[in-house]
Amino acid sequence: MPDLPQHKPVLAGTRYTGISEAGIRLEALPEGHLLHVLGAIEPSALAAELAKVGFATSSIRKAGFRQWFVAGDEPLVPAGLETLAAALTGKAYVMDQSHGRVRIGVSGHSSRVLLSKGTAVDLDPSVFPEGHSVMSMVGHLSVQIVRTGDDSFELTVLRSFAESLWEDLAHMAASAEKDGA
């Protein structure tokens, strides 16, 4: 019997070990879990349900009208997803997107300069505060951008586009260095 395929993170290997230049750090984040929640449930109620079923350290990111992504570094356990789906019955639906999307961290004092090279979103902290998220385009790719700190962001992209986004970000980082950012 042939061996079953093993899960390999899409941004694995020396090519994606992280980039630090010109006040910018790119890093492939753990491919933990990413859940798509749809329904008429408020974020505070969703957070309470997540805490009850063991997802207390996960973050909730708005992904559209009555839609949220729940992201975390820990791998998803099937029983956890089933428990969460049962807890949300009648309030919302939950779908596992863990194997379909990848998260990339962008941080450093020049992170906004780098991201401004690829998106038209105003990332000034007064407009886009910590915890805020938006679905946008970075170049030609649809990406969710989340501010995770003063100078740090997390980008979530479809798995099949993760390498392309990484290459675009690396190119923009090199360009930012030449520009003296």
Give residue-wise pLDDT tens across range 69-120. Answer: 999 999 888 888 999 999 999 999 999 999 899 999 999 999 999 999 999 9
Same domain assignment for residues 91 and 105: no
Residue 147 is predicted with a pLDDT of 97
State whether 19 and 52 are in the same domain: no
The last residue of one of the domains, among 75, 96, 117, is: 96
**What pLDDT is recorded for position 5?**
62
- Residue 70 C-beta-side C-alpha neighbours within 13 Å: 30
Look at residue 127 and tell me if it is in a domain.
Answer: yes
Yes or no: say if 144 and 135 are a contact pair by the CB < 8 Å rule. Answer: yes
Q: Give the per-residue pLDDT at 78.
A: 84
Show Cβ contacts of residue 162 under 8 Å, excluding neighbours closer than 6 positions. 10, 11, 102, 104
Whether residue 110 is found in the same domain as residue 49: no
Do both 144 and 163 map to the same domain?
yes
pLDDT at residue 12 in the model = 72
What pLDDT score does 176 carry?
A: 64
Q: Are residues 70 and 152 in the same domain?
A: no
| 160: CATH | 3.30.1360.120
Q: What share of the chain is helix, strand, coil (3-state, %, to 5)?
A: 25, 35, 40
Q: Are residues 26 and 104 in the same domain?
A: yes
Cα 160 to Cα 92: distance, rounded to the nearest angstrom? 27
Angle CA(61)–CA(64)–CA(65) in degrees, nearest 5?
120
* Calpha distance 25→110 (Å, rounded): 9
Range of the domain at 39: 33-96
Same domain, 124 and 71: no
So what's the pLDDT on residue 77? 85
Residue 5 domain-assigned (yes or no) = no
Query: What pLDDT does 143 receive?
Result: 97
Let me know whether 78 and 136 are in one domain: no
Same domain? 128 vs 158: yes
Q: Looking at residue 15, what is its pLDDT?
A: 67
* Number of separate domains in the chain: 2
Which stretches in the chain have pLDDT values below 70?
Answer: 1-2, 4-7, 13-16, 22, 176-181
